[in-house]
Structure 1
Amino acid sequence: MPSPLKALCGALAATLLAVSPAVADQSTVDGAAPSADPVRVMPLGDSITQGGSIGGYRLDLGAKLRSAGRTVDFVGSLADGPGSMPDRNHEGHPGWTIAQVDGNVVNWLRTYTPRTILLHIGTNDMYGSDPAGAPRRLSALVDKITAQAPGADVFVSTIIPIRFADATVRAYNAAIVPLLRAKAAAGKRVHVVDMYPAVPVSDLPDGIHPNAAGYSKMATVWFNALSAVPGSIGDPPAPGGTCTATPRVVGSWGGGFQAEVTVTNPTAAAITGWTVRFALPGGHAVTQLWGGTADGSGTVTNAPYNGTISPNASVVFGFIASGSGAAAVGTADCASA
């Protein structure tokens, strides 16, 4: 009869062997042990996502996320980039078309369960047999992604230029933007990212793939888009202290609305700075802001003249948001310095 100790060891070994790839392959952005609940981000696309030996935009995007204090785990079945790159996982498949990604994406989503998806795809369709049908194929791909992962934020970018197919790329980009915005207006967590103007042809040595400078520019665009959507890369580190923020819509019109946020100090001591985070409906973006400063992390901080709030006093900042759908502001969080 086997001993209880041997039985226990056998059960433990079976458990370890049963760990799913999504867990066994997990990496962190800082190379250390995984922190609590990292946000799982899937870079998805073709060779421009894979990025060759330099790691593409993923190298600088990871650095920007770490500098912003975000805990993010890039996920996917592939791993590329320099050995020193802290997080090398992705789903960027060189040479692949929209249809090829479509044929595999459900399995990837089930395996790696991303919270956020960065999709840049369509370049290989531009010099294929049916570039005119590419917008329709992309629309179907995004529908498949949102059906399989309805809780994920899906950032879909226009594709960067191709030196020898610029007119075709421009036509594709012009066609996909309204399709994607319609999905966002219907309540899907789809976000349009305009990547085309970020990378000049001079940063494409072969006319298709960026050099390090071009990939760095892509990283900046991705980072700014992620930072503008609360929760997509977790919450930014909050300063200490306590304050409250109360938002309200003060006016609306077709295509946008105006709102204001009242920041209150409910404590017995003055505060000398504040940071507010709030969510907007899908498809909306802040186009004007007063009484505060956008800091690039999806938050608003005080202006130089209204950071100090006396006990039981308040200040107000306002903004205009543009986009389709109903006017609304989600619950706002406030932290004081």
Structure 2
Amino acid sequence: MSGPSREGSVMPNPLKALCAALITTLLAVSPAVADQSTVEAAADPVRVMPLGDSITQGGSIGGYRLDLGTKLRAAGRNVDFVGSLADGPGSMPDRNHEGHPGWTIAQIDANVVNWLRTYTPRTILLHIGTNDMYGSDPAGAPRRLSALVDKITNQAPSAEVFVATIIPIRFADATVRNFNAAIVPLLRAKAAAGKRVHVVDMYPAVPISDLPDGIHPNAAGYSKMATVWYNALASVPGSIGDPQQPGGTCTATSKIVSTWSGGFQAEVTVANPTASALNGWTVRFTLPGGHAIGQIWGGTASGSVTVTNVAYNGTVDPGATATFGFLASGSGAPAVGAATCASP
């Protein structure tokens, strides 16, 4: 009797010790694990799919993707180009895309659902139609593009779909102009219906002098395309994530409120994510070449472009926001470059 009694009294002690150790370990490790998962989730890159034909593929120089990637990284954007193809110089950090040389709108349409399912892009950059311009039915290309965009938005309704007017073709300029003129109202109607479709006016960005073969841009032309894409992306919050601002005390997010021929209205929201009130703020951003601010409210503008608070909105409590707006005029696509914010 005494043996079993002693065993019965001894057994719980190691179990209790083990349980206590496990609890201590969990209490010590769980916050770190939680923090790690939070950091990893926050660090997930925004998946961007460059989609189109050889102008998206860009040959051995990587097309617009090279300079666009550089601009995004310089702005602190955590972006991952996605797609089944990889082209460009070996030194190019991110070479993936869905740019298929020689392909028409119909060919992209036949494959796009599988690509969207496989790569689940958050943002899509679509420049397609060039090969349709010298095909058998250029007049039907706007209808085909409209159907393609519908297929994309139906398959990926939460994705931001940026659709470019196509760049010039030296020997088919009138056909290109007709195509571009036809697709813009179709695309704007989709946006007005609530679809996440954004028109990017790429045609005026690349002069024919930057098309050595009359179709494909040289490095200078692709760099101009990259600037137009970047400005368009930066104008749509979330399309390329939020800029990483180590040590920053505030954030700034811009949006285009309305557009018209030769100008646009924009609004910028300043947010305070810290635990202390902001006592003044300064926001910096860029505008497309040739654009200038003509009128501003809720801030004072200087340079190209720096905006500081006015008296009534300089103090921003923790978790609160302040806004300013402006009117800009100029040629080209309306856009507000990535905005940064600092507080004294």
TM-score under structure 2 length normalisation? 0.69
> CA, structure 1 residues 311+237, in 2 after alignment: closer, same or farther (shift >3 Å)?
closer
Q: Supply the AA of the counterpart residue of 2:105.
A: I
What secondary structure, in the 3-state scheme, does the structure 1 residue paired with 2:97 have? strand
> CA, structure 1 residues 91+264, in 2 after alignment: closer, same or farther (shift >3 Å)?
closer
CA distance in 2, matches of 1:84, 1:275: 33
> CA, structure 1 residues 197+267, in 2 after alignment: closer, same or farther (shift >3 Å)?
same
Give deviations 1:233-267, integer Å, cap 9, x for gaps: 0012346336999x9x9xxxxxx989797989998
Structure 2 residue 171 is the aligned partner of structure 1 residue 164 = yes
What secondary structure, in the 3-state scheme, does the structure 2 residue paired with 1:73 have? strand
CA distance in 2, matches of 1:226, 1:244: 15
Partner of 1:64: 71
Structure 2 residue 84 is the aligned partner of structure 1 residue 77 = yes
CA distance in 1, matches of 2:221, 2:199: 20
Is this contact kept in 2: 1:156–1:193, CA < 8 A?
yes
Partner of 1:195: 202
What secondary structure, in the 3-state scheme, does the structure 1 residue paired with 2:80 have? strand
What is the CA RMSD across the aligned residues, in angstroms? 4.1
CA distance in 2, matches of 1:35, 1:200: 40
Which of 297, 307, 316 aligns to 1:302? It is 307
CA distance in 1, matches of 2:252, 2:216: 47
Partner of 2:248: 240
CA distance in 2, matches of 1:258, 1:34: 31
CA distance in 2, matches of 1:105, 1:193: 20
Which of 105, 109, 113 aligns to 1:106? It is 113
Is this contact kept in 2: 1:35–1:71, CA < 8 A?
no
Structure 2 residue 232 is the aligned partner of structure 1 residue 212 = no
5+ residue gaps, structure 1, are 1-32, 250-255, 278-285, 323-332
Structure 2 residue 153 is the aligned partner of structure 1 residue 136 = no
Give deviations 1:195-218, integer Å, cap 9, x for gaps: 000000000000000000000000
TM-score under structure 1 length normalisation? 0.71
Is this contact kept in 2: 1:244–1:335, CA < 8 A?
no
Is this contact kept in 1: 2:82–2:97, CA < 8 A?
yes
Is this contact kept in 1: 2:280–2:309, CA < 8 A?
no
5+ residue gaps, structure 2, are 1-39, 258-263, 286-292, 330-339
Is this contact kept in 2: 1:270–1:308, CA < 8 A?
no
Give deviations 1:84-131, integer Å, cap 9, x for gaps: 000000000000000000000000000000000000000000000000
Alignment of 1:1-337 (within 5 A): 36-238=43-245, 240-241=248-249, 271-275=279-283, 289-290=296-297, 291-292=299-300, 302-303=307-308, 309=314, 317-319=324-326, 336-337=343-344
> CA, structure 1 residues 95+288, in 2 after alignment: closer, same or farther (shift >3 Å)?
farther
Identical-residue share of aligned pairs (%):
73
> CA, structure 1 residues 244+135, in 2 after alignment: closer, same or farther (shift >3 Å)?
closer
> CA, structure 1 residues 148+301, in 2 after alignment: closer, same or farther (shift >3 Å)?
farther
Partner of 2:11: none
Q: Supply the AA of the counterpart residue of 2:174.
A: A
> CA, structure 1 residues 184+310, in 2 after alignment: closer, same or farther (shift >3 Å)?
closer
Deviation (angstroms), 1:165: 0.2
What secondary structure, in the 3-state scheme, does the structure 2 residue paired with 1:94 have? coil
> CA, structure 1 residues 96+319, in 2 after alignment: closer, same or farther (shift >3 Å)?
same
Q: Supply the AA of the counterpart residue of 2:204.
A: P
CA distance in 1, matches of 2:41, 2:271: 35
Number of residue equivalences: 276
CA distance in 2, matches of 1:166, 1:49: 19
More helix by percentage: 2
CA distance in 2, matches of 1:203, 1:76: 27
> CA, structure 1 residues 147+266, in 2 after alignment: closer, same or farther (shift >3 Å)?
closer
CA distance in 2, matches of 1:292, 1:103: 51
Is this contact kept in 1: 2:142–2:182, CA < 8 A?
yes
CA distance in 1, matches of 2:70, 2:274: 37
What secondary structure, in the 3-state scheme, does the structure 1 residue paired with 2:216 have? coil
